[in-house]
Amino acid sequence: MLAAAATAVSSLAATGTGATTIPGTPGTGVPAPPALGVHHRLTDATATRIFLEDRKVASWLKRYPDKPQKSATWKDGVWSVVISTDGAGAIASGKVDDALAVVTEAWTGPQVAWTMARGQHGAFGGAMINSKKIWLVFCVVFLLGLVNWRRPFSVRTLDLLALLSFSVSLWYFNAGDVLMSAPLVYPPFVWLLIRCFWVGARDRPSKGDVVWPVWLLLAATVFLGGFRIGLNVRDSNVIDVGYSGVIGADRIWHGQSPYDHFPVERERKACGPADSNGEIRDRIQTNGRCESANERGDTYGPVAYEAYLPGYLLFGWSGKWDSLPSVHFTSIVWDLLALVGMGLVGLRLGGPKLGATFAFAWAAWPFTQYASSSNTNDMIGPALLVIGFLFYTSSFRRGVFSALAGWTKFGSLLLVPLWAGYPDARRFRGRAAYTCGFLVATGIAFSVLLLEPSPFHAARVFVDRTVIWQSGRDSPFSIWDYRQYHAKGLPDLHRVQALLEIILIAGALALGRWPRRRSPLRLAAFSAVLLIGFEIVLTHWYYPYLLWMFPFVAITLLMPRQAPEPDGSVDAGHEPAPTMAVSDAATAAS
């Protein structure tokens, strides 16, 4: 599969097709106006009145007091109208065609400042994965492959439906209704959190198993793996998150820390054309090179850039936000590593059938492909955690891979107390070995800061560009930051969010000591609980983040009641693994 990925991405690099920048704001299909003269037909008051009479705009403005501030400017036959209020700032904006006297664009609330809230079809992941046909095929295959058809009305079916129900929220997001899409992610999150906590507390899997034979699950997984690679190469795009990875790799390769060295637009000479919004991203940077700007791309952990080095060395980077084959290659490789890792975890925990089940679950769940087609960096952390979980009997290796995952995106650091205490929370030797592995991996990951003249200054810049900026950012893609719009009907939930954050941190610390004895199932279940909890309290949340929790949710909820005994072999520096209940038939199958 890795060879196929490299070949496919090489083809992408040769043809120059594939990922592009996120397209600009689309129009509404209004025909082009007549040839423009030097004068406009409408007045600014008339253009503003036409804009305010738009049904979408009028509906949103009902949330605010009367007499907002209004402005309208004319250029090239189009009026740009902005409506604002004290405190909330701009609350509506759009364009009115001067010749036709019609509204051609109308953005309200979150859509004013966030182009990604405007429902641009295919802007994230390309057209194919966002098509109803392909998305529903993934959903149907996922459900058909994993439902226990002997007990179709069991809780297992509800678990699978909960995992697929995030699709409803995504549908509203693609329609540009983020005030509807954001609340819809929380019911399935709460269901999955409760289910995983219940399984972990009881240390007993749910009843049920998949009914398909191993060969069929494996065949479906291999087919889906190839289809996913083809979908990434043929019809996907690279959003700013993935683009940041190759920029960071370029900076590291040229002897710089990634932090505060990304290409910017401000005070830089333009060296490329304007996009459909009139924005010129291509600028001459301090290194004298013409590069496409991505000013806040240096907000992740160092591993999020180091992971792109192999792809960068194979395919390079032109300095532009073009097809970016190195990013496609990196996304495909980490996607495959997660898929294979899930299969190996299942093989170790329950034999070939469970291995095939876990691998199939990753391959068939549509949101794993959504992240791959968006070419984000969200496959890296889950893949590293899955590999770390595969070595659950080795405290040192668990420490290494949990550190690498945590220094990709920081949410995985919540797992440190839980993972350090496996299999016995009071065993000092295991904690010491875990801590050693964690520190070794941390030192390797942060060695990029030594590339700067002053590593201590580089460390301060790292904290400022990542932790501080991330903790203070605004976002409309969760329910927690609605206060910024000062609109009637939108609650202020900051105190609730703060309370949940305290509970989450307290829970993560408590899981360092309780329960004292923990099986692989318990480790997976409580890992899922912590990662789901982290996603619930995030201010800025997006659909590829679902991958963070998915491997451990799948392990927890798809583990059969009668699973073969996991490999509990012990060697130097390894901890014995607690055993699980085994039936004679299952043992024979393993």
274 shares a domain with 395: no
Question: Tens digit of pLDDT per residue, the chain (590 long)?
Answer: 545 555 544 444 444 433 333 333 334 344 444 444 457 888 989 999 999 999 999 999 999 988 889 999 998 899 999 999 988 899 999 999 999 999 999 999 999 999 899 988 888 999 999 999 999 999 999 999 999 888 888 899 999 999 999 999 999 999 999 999 999 999 999 999 999 999 999 999 887 778 899 999 999 999 999 999 999 999 999 999 999 999 999 999 999 999 999 999 988 899 988 877 778 889 999 889 999 999 999 999 999 999 999 999 999 999 999 999 999 999 999 999 999 999 999 999 999 999 999 999 999 999 999 999 999 999 999 999 999 999 999 999 999 999 999 999 999 999 999 999 999 888 888 899 999 999 999 999 999 999 999 999 999 999 999 999 988 888 999 999 998 898 898 999 999 999 999 999 999 999 998 988 889 999 999 999 999 999 999 999 999 999 999 999 999 999 987 654 444 443 334 444 444 433 333 333 33
270 and 406 inside one domain? no
Measure Cα distances from 261 to 248, 284, 465 in Å: 9, 13, 11
Instruction: Tell me: do 358 and 482 sit in the same domain.
Output: yes
Domain that holds residue 532: 126-235+329-589
pTM > 0.85: yes
The residue with tokens 């129900």 is 165
Cα–Cα distance for residue pair 250/245, rounded to 1 Å: 9
Domain tally for the chain?
3
Is residue 114 in some structural domain?
Answer: no
Place of tokens 């952990």: 301
Q: In the prediction, which pLDDT does 6 show? A: 53
Quick check: 546 and 515 in contact, CB under 8 A?
no
273 in the same domain as 421: no
pLDDT the model gives residue 581:
37
Q: What are 298-343's pLDDT values in tens digits?
A: 999 999 999 999 999 999 999 999 999 999 999 999 999 999 999 9
Strand partners of residue 284: 290
Residue 255, in any domain of the structure: no
Tell me: do 229 and 375 sit in the same domain.
Answer: yes
In a domain, 32, yes or no: no
Q: What is the pLDDT of residues 176-219, one digit of tens each?
A: 999 999 999 999 999 999 999 999 999 998 877 788 999 999 99
Q: Please report the pLDDT score of residue 210 as a whole number.
A: 82
The verdict on residue 8 lying in a domain is: no
Q: Residues 100, 139: one domain? A: no
Asked, for residue 333, whether it belongs to a domain, the answer is: yes
What pLDDT is attached to residue 562?
64
- Provide the 8-state DSSP code for 449: G
Asked if 187 and 160 sit in the same domain, the reply is yes
Can you read off the two tokens belonging to residue 42? 């409408």
Q: Can you read off the two tokens belonging to residue 40?
A: 């406009």
In a domain, 274, yes or no: yes
Other C-beta atoms closer than 10 Å to the C-beta of 177 total 15
Question: Do the domain assignments include residue 95?
Answer: yes
- Domain final position from 253, 275, 296: 296
- Residues 528, 580, single domain; the answer is yes
Asked whether residue 81 falls in the same domain as residue 158, the answer is no
CA distances from 123 to 130, 135, 236, 505 (A): 9, 16, 9, 35
> Given this model, what pLDDT does residue 23 score?
36
Q: Is residue 415 part of a domain?
A: yes
- Looking at residue 430, its pLDDT comes to 86
Q: What proportions of the chain, in percent to the nearest 5, are helix, strand and coil?
A: 55, 5, 35
Decide: 96 and 50 in contact? Cβ < 8 Å: yes
Judgement on whether residues 269 and 341 belong to the same structural domain of the protein:
no
Nearest CA to 535 out of 453, 412, 449 is that of: 412
DSSP string over 466-490: IIIHHHH---SSSSTTGGGG--TT-
Examine the domain organization and report whether 177 and 69 are in the same domain: no
**Residue 48 shares a structural domain with residue 84:** yes
